Amino acid sequence: MSLLKLDNVTIRFGGLVAVDGVDLTVERGEILALIGPNGAGKSTIFNLITGIYAPTEGSISFNGRPISGNKPYHIAAAGIGRTFQNIRLFTELSVLENVLIGAHKLGKWDLAGSIMKLAPWVRKEEGALAEWAIECLKQVDLAHRAYELAVNLPYGEQRRLEIARALALKPDLILLDEPAAGMNPQEKQVLLEMVLKIRAAGITVFLVEHDMKFVMGLSDRIAVLDYGVKIAEGKPEEIRTNPQVIEAYLGKGAVH
Ligand SMILES: Nc1ncnc2c1ncn2[C@@H]1O[C@H](COP(=O)(O)OP(=O)(O)OP(=O)(O)O)[C@@H](O)[C@H]1O
C-alpha cells in the first residue's frame, strides 16, 4: 500500500482549474519530487494534502485512510509534516522554542496547559520534549544553535530550522516546499545531505523544487505538473530526457 495516494484530485478556484484530475502516489521510504513551471499547481497540491484546501473532486488517502477534507491539525497529527515556500518562523523566539512549538502536541499538555507550569509532571514532560526538540535540531545540524534567537540565524539555517520543526511531530511523511530556494551552492549541498539523512531515519520525503541539479541529485522519482495536469512521472534520467517535460519546463529556463 502506498503511503500517500491522490486519486483523480481536482481543485477549482472560480474558473481556474489549479489542479486537474491528478493521480499520484508516494511510496514509503522514497524521495519524490514534484516539478513544473510557476503556477503549475505544485504548492496547491501540498495545500490539498495538508488540509488547507479540500479537493473539489477526487480523494486523498494516507496510510490507507481518507484524509481529504480533514483539518490541517488532524492531518499533521496523522503523520504529515511540512515546510512552507516562505519561511514561517517565530523570529523573536529561540531556535529551541521554535521546535518546541512543533513538538508540543506530542505532550500531554498544550499551550493552555503551560499555564500550569508548576505541576511537577508538566515540568517532567517539558524536559522530555526539550530533549526531543534537541534531537530534531541534531538531525539538521543545528543543536549548537538551540539558545540563539531564530532571527539571528543565516538564511540556510532558518530553512533547516523549519525542517526541524516539521520533524518534531514525528511525521511518517515530510513535505518540503522549495527547500533549496534562495540558498547558495554550499547551503544546498548541506541541505541535500540532510534530506538523505532524514530519509535514512525512516521518513518519506515529498518535495517541490525548482533547482533541477538539486532535484536530479536527490530524488528517486519525479512527477511533473503543467497547468494543473500531471504530464510525466519517472526516474530522474527519464524525466530529464522526456520531450514533453523539456517542452513544458526544462527547456524554459528551469535551473539546471
Ligand atoms: N487560494 C487561491 N485562490 C485563487 N487562485 C489560487 C489560489 N491558490 C493558488 N491559486 C492559483 O492556482 C494556480 C497554481 O498555483 P500554485 O501556487 O499551486 O503554483 P506553483 O506550481 O506552486 O507555482 P510556483 O512554482 O510559482 O510556486 C496559480 O494560477 C495560482 O494563482
Look up the ipTM and state it.
0.96
Question: Which parts of the chain are beta strand (E)?
Answer: 4-13, 16-26, 31-35, 57-62, 65-66, 80-82, 173-177, 204-208, 221-226, 229-234
Q: Whose CA is nearest to atom 17 of ligand 1?
A: 43
Q: Whose CA is nearest to atom 6 of ligand 1?
A: 13
- Which residue, 210, 84, 94, is CA-closest to 159? 84
19 CA to middle of ligand 1, Å? 9
Q: Whose CA is nearest to atom 8 of ligand 1?
A: 44
User: What confidence score (pLDDT) does residue 88 get?
Assistant: 85
CA 241, 245, 251, 256 dihedral sign is negative
pLDDT under 70 in the chain at which residues?
104-126, 253-256
List the grid coordinates of 60: 486523498
Residues near ligand 1 with C-beta < 6 Å? Answer: 13, 16, 18, 36, 38-44, 85
Number of residues that make up the chain: 256
- Matching fold, domains 1-79+171-256 and 85-170: yes
User: What confidence score (pLDDT) does residue 109 get?
Assistant: 45
16 CA to middle of ligand 1, Å? 10
User: What confidence score (pLDDT) does residue 112 get?
Assistant: 45
User: What confidence score (pLDDT) does residue 105 get?
Assistant: 60
Angle in degrees, CA 140, 46, 42, rounded to 5: 105
Topology classification of domain 85-170: Rossmann fold (3.40.50)
SS3 2: coil
User: What confidence score (pLDDT) does residue 104 get?
Assistant: 65
User: What confidence score (pLDDT) does residue 11 get?
Assistant: 98
The CATH code of the domain at 1-79+171-256 is: 3.40.50.300
What residue ranges do the domains of the chain occupy?
1-79+171-256, 85-170
